[in-house]
């Protein structure tokens, strides 16, 4: 059995003193980069920005996916459109009344629209516009900071989203975000998302060298899931 997965390193968790080195190494191995944008209000942390998207674009043609954790989602959508971020994913919790207009603006710019569900947020929150989405991101930890407790129950939403997609012919990718590491590889793989966001505990923090960290991540994934990486992108049963 073979199945295609996508890997999306969370750049909030990378070593910024090795920014170019790490991006250059990962460019040929991953499918996208995950860029967290926090405003200090939706969550207490403040992290990356549309300016950071521009900096990554200087050294990478890999698609960039912005995960907004912000209160004023329409403002940040417009800013991310300006820098042509490939995927613009808004928090579903603040999208009531503006979701359709944001999705229309993103698509009109030739970009892809996504919605993010926090752990407590049900899929029903996005059902009015789920058929328009290119990506749905399931948070498997509380948003705002890396290293928080993995919430296994959130994986049920991944299974349900896959079932809905098959039944209705929806076109969204299913992404999971949070604590993707050795302790959870097996249960995440069983839920079968399309996109794995990997951060400090699963990649960047494993060693002091990005190549060694990548190789360790692959070994841990294979040991935990029983699947083998083929060029870092395709899983094939061993």
- The HSE-up count of residue 166 (CA atoms within 13 Å, CB side) is 6
Q: Where along the chain do its domains lie?
A: 2-237
Is 177 a known active-site residue?
A: yes
> Which residues participate in the annotated binding site for a divalent metal cation?
34, 36, 67, 177
Let me know if 134 is a catalytic residue: no
pLDDT of residue 39: 83
As a whole number of Å, the CA-based R_g of the chain is 17
The class (CATH top level) of 2-237 is alpha beta
The string of pLDDT tens digits covering residues 183-219 is 999 999 999 999 999 999 999 999 999 999 999 999 9
- CA 52-103-80 angle, to 5 degrees, is 15
Q: What is the pLDDT of residue 175?
A: 98
pLDDT-based confidence at residue 171 (cuts at 50, 70, 90): very high
69-117 tens-digit pLDDT? 999 999 999 999 999 999 999 999 999 999 999 999 999 999 999 999 9
For the chain, give the number of residues. Answer: 238
Catalytic residue among 142, 177, 194, 230: 177
**Model pLDDT, residue 44:** 66
User: Which residues are annotated as part of the binding site?
Assistant: 34, 36, 67, 144-147, 177-179
User: pLDDT for 1-48, tens place per residue?
Assistant: 677 889 999 999 998 889 999 999 999 999 999 999 988 777 767 778
- Going by pLDDT thresholds of 50, 70 and 90, the confidence category of residue 235 is low
Which pLDDT score, from 0 to 100, does residue 148 have?
Answer: 74
Are 9 and 204 within 8 A, CB to CB?
yes
Query: What local confidence, expressed as pLDDT, does residue 16 receive?
Result: 83
Burial of 54 per CB tally in 10 Å (0-12, 13-18, 19+): middle
Task: Please identify which of the residues 36, 39, 134, 194 carries the catalytic annotation.
Answer: 36
Q: 39: phi > 0 → left, psi -120 to 50 → alpha, else beta; which?
A: alpha
pTM of the model: 0.94
Burial (CB count within 10 angstroms: exposed 0-12, middle 13-18, buried 19+), residue 72: middle
What is each CA distance from 11 to 19, 122, 187, 203, 226, in whole angstroms? 9, 27, 24, 11, 27
């Amino acid at each position: 059995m073979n199945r295609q997965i996508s890997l999306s390193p969370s750049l909030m968790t990378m070593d910024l003193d090795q920014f170019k080195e790490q991006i250059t190494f990962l460019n040929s191995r991953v499918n996208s980069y995950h860029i967290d944008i926090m405003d200090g209000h939706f969550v207490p942390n403040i992290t990356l920005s549309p300016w950071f998207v521009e900096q990554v674009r200087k050294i990478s043609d890999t698609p960039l996916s912005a995960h907004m954790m912000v209160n004023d989602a329409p403002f940040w959508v417009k800013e991310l459109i300006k820098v042509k971020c490939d995927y613009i994913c808004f928090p579903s919790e603040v999208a009531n009344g503006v979701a359709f207009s944001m999705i229309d603006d993103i698509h009109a710019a030739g970009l892809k629209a996504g919605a993010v569900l926090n752990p407590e947020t049900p899929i029903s929150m996005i059902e009015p516009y789920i058929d328009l989405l290119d990506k749905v991101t399931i948070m498997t930890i509380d948003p705002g900071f890396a290293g928080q407790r993995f919430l296994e129950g959130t994986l049920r939403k991944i299974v349900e989203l896959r079932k809905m997609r098959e039944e209705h012919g929806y076109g969204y990718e299913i992404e999971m975000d949070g604590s993707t590491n050795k302790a959870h590889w097996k249960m995440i793989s069983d839920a079968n998302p399309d996109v794995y966001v990997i951060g400090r505990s699963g990649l960047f923090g494993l060693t002091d060298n990005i190549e060694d960290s990548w190789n360790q991540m692959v070994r841990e994934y294979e040991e935990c899931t029983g699947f083998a990486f083929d060029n870092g992108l395709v899983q094939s049963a061993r």
